[in-house]
Amino acid sequence: AQTVTQSQPEMSVQEAETVTLSCTYDTSESDYYLFWYKQPPSRQMILVIRQEAYKQQNATENRFSVNFQKAAKSFSLKISDSQLGDAAMYFCACPSGNTGKLIFGQGTTLQVKP
Amino acid sequence: DTAVSQTPKYLVTQMGNDKSIKCEQNLGHDTMYWYKQDSKKFLKIMFSYNNKELIINETVPNRFSPKSPDKAHLNLHINSLELGDSAVYFCASSQRSGSTIDTQYFGPGTRLTVL
């Protein structure tokens, strides 16, 4: 069965510092996207960044970037210059099979300290 | 304009009641989904529809019945509500069905509390 694993239930970072959230996944697909979603206390699921698996270049969106290691099936999220508004739960997700449904990791709660 | 909207945002009801949650997307997408987020924040797919056709039905009790009147709307009706149905329900949409290279956009969620 397809799985997505986030091994860090909680992380903490000082404001303006950098933090990396880990994610590993398992898929038999050859072409796929990977996603990081942010869920603040408002509970809205917000797309942070996505990575196209066939692209070797790591995706970047402003202060957010990924470290994508396809062979290792690893997809970590780096947040630079952390801000108080980055405090949230972060979910890694991978699509499954030919249905397109997303398989989510368990989530990592990020605390940002002022 | 809101891309994916859900109503209501909060729903509090008694065990045994029947309730519905509505979802609408104005992105022009063909595919819509229902996900359930439990008390431990774990997110899991329930259903997906592509252009009004049921595509995914993930071992959900038949008390849950999705209905898609058109490709922009996907409603979730729940009969005989149980305590274990308390959760946050998310609607999402994507351009295509069955694609591993498509992005899903989520609604704001509906927090259902069954007393």
Q: Report, as an integer, the average pLDDT of A71-80.
A: 96
Report the chain A residue with the minimal C-alpha distance to residue B34. A101
| Per-residue model confidence (pLDDT) at position B46 | 94
- In chain B, residues with a C-beta closer than 8 Å to the C-beta of A52 are 101
What's A59's DSSP letter? P
Report the candidate in A18, A59, A1 with the shortest Cα–Cα distance to residue A35: A59
Q: How many CA atoms lie within 13 A of A105 on its CB side?
A: 30
Local structure of B92: helix, strand or coil: strand
| Per-residue model confidence (pLDDT) at position B56 | 85
The verdict on a CB contact (< 8 Å) between B48 and A100 is yes
Q: Residue A55: pLDDT above 70?
A: yes
pLDDT tens digits, residue range B1-40? 669 999 999 999 999 999 999 999 999 999 999 999 999 9
pLDDT tens digits, residue range B46-70? 999 988 888 888 878 999 999 999 9
The distance of B92 to chain A (nearest Cα, Å) reads 10
| Per-residue model confidence (pLDDT) at position B1 | 63
Q: Report, as an integer, the average pLDDT of A74-91.
A: 97
| Per-residue model confidence (pLDDT) at position B97 | 77
The verdict on a CB contact (< 8 Å) between B103 and A50 is yes
My answer on whether omega of the bond before B8 falls inside 30° of 0, hence cis, is yes
> Do B39 and B86 form a contact (C-beta atoms < 8 A)?
yes
The verdict on a CB contact (< 8 Å) between B88 and A43 is yes
Q: Residue A74: pLDDT above 80?
A: yes
Distances, alpha carbon A35 to alpha carbons A76, B64, B87, B113, in Å: 10, 28, 23, 29
pLDDT tens digits, residue range B71-81? 999 999 999 99
